[in-house]
Amino acid sequence: MNLEETFKEANTILDTLQKNGFEAYYVGGSVRDYLMDVNIGDIDITTNALPEDIQNIFPRTIDVGVEHGTVIVVINKTPFEVTTYRTETTYSDYRRPDSVSFTTSIKEDLARRDFTMNAVAMDRMFKIYDPYNGQLSIKNKEIITVGDPYERFNEDALRMLRAIRFVSQLDFKLNESTFNGIVKLASNVQYISVERIVQELKKLYSGVNVSHAKSLLIHSEILKFIPYYKKLNIEDIKKTNVHSLINEIIIQQILNENNHFKNELKLSNDEKNNIKNSLSFYNDLGENESPIILAYNYNEHIILNLKDIISENNFLNQQYLNQIDDILLEKSSLTIKSKKDLAVNGNDLMKTLNRHGGPWLKEILSEIEKNVLFNKLENNYETIIEWVNDEY
């Protein structure tokens, strides 16, 4: 990996901070990724400069949480999070520290980080500072809390979900006592906001070892405290093979038809519609609907996604796969893609038949739509008007 290139812009931040008399290090995921020799995601920087120092030194900064010590520094349009060394004091809500105190010691800053693999610092010459043996845990592919797991998870319950998400993302194992800490404190997950839970679940499902992470969610019983999941059947969760949270929900809803989907996970409208349409498509497949109608009613993304879901989960009806192939074939030769593509509209019909609008309009339009779709009527203004005059 070309280090100089990857860290080029970020290095100017470390340089500048040092020239101004401060210490600065890379920390977190970027150092972990570098040590694992995989592509580096976002680069986080930690420094003993205070937020106001950082804002004074750099011409372009964005205030994202100065009270927590974080400032975004923008270099050539790339944003970098620069965070002041800090320690976290008491926690009373299992979510965030009651107060943040800055410290002048990098070692103390690293001590408040969640896992040893995330608590390795690297300076601008790419020299590593690793007081908690993070490199060893990366080498052993093991996730271990910095310090006592019970204490660390008791401070911040989100860390338990982060641990399990990293199992999937990095394909690491969970250290035994770290896992036992999760078992003891699983119920604290109920205090975490659903948005943050969902964020972690999405990362979990996009990881490379989803099944290991799912088995940890199950065995630690943390699942019992996650909205929506708590009402599912464990066997059903175990048996699915999916790579996104949305697809997991789609399958779970297929398996539990009576389980009314109440959006406990606060998903976006797009996501909700995606789930709704996928379920309706799956149902229609069982109803022997004509492939032309299904091709017309569902967009390609929904069809292809459901095809993946079915082919990767053999407990679902595999005969639907042939049906889906027929539907996809029809999709490419549909005469119209939506009502808007019809050569006539409601106004044309009202004029032709000299009638005021009303429910009859929708009926005739649907009839025209169907005939055009099945190639019984050419989608051409004169032809359709002539047909309407004959029929009505």
What is the binding site for ligand ATP (CB under 6 A)? Answer: 28-29, 41-42, 44, 113-114, 118-119, 156, 158-159
CB neighbourhood size of 20 (10 A) = 15
391 part of the interface to Mg ion, by CB under 5 A: no
**Residue 244 CB, nearest distance to Mg ion (Å)?**
21
Give me the residues paired with residue 81 across strands.
44, 72
What is 140-198 written as a DSSP string? TTEE-BSS-HHHHHHH-THHHHHHHHHHHHH-PEEPHHHHHHHHHHGGGGGGS-HHHHH
**Residue 34 CB, nearest distance to ligand ATP (Å)?**
12
Coil, helix or strand for 246? helix
Contacted by 134, from ligand ATP, Mg ion, none: CB < 5 to 8 Å by type: none
Q: How far apart are CA 272 and CA 263, in angstroms?
A: 8
Q: Is the dihedral of CA 385, 390, 391, 392 positive or negative?
A: positive
Per-residue contact track with Mg ion, 32 to 71, x per CB under 5 A? ----------x-----------------------------
**Residue 145 CB, nearest distance to ligand ATP (Å)?**
9
**Token output for 241:** 């093979």
List, in sequence order, every beta strand (DSSP E) within the chain: 24-27, 44-47, 61-65, 70-75, 78-84, 86-88, 100-102, 121-122, 128-129, 142-143, 173-174
Residue type, 361: L
Contacted by 156, from Mg ion, ligand ATP, none: CB < 5 to 8 Å by type: ligand ATP
Report strand pairing: 121-122 vs 78-84. unpaired
Which CB atom, from 143 or from 292, has the smaller least distance to ligand ATP?
143
The residue nearest ligand ATP at its CB is: 29
Contacted by 369, from Mg ion, ligand ATP, none: CB < 5 to 8 Å by type: none
**Residue 169 CB, nearest distance to Mg ion (Å)?**
11
29 part of the interface to Mg ion, by CB under 5 A: yes
Which CB atom, from 27 or from 388, has the smaller least distance to Mg ion?
27
Which CB atom, from 151 or from 386, has the smaller least distance to ligand ATP?
151
**Residue 6 CB, nearest distance to ligand ATP (Å)?**
14
**Residue 81 CB, nearest distance to Mg ion (Å)?**
8
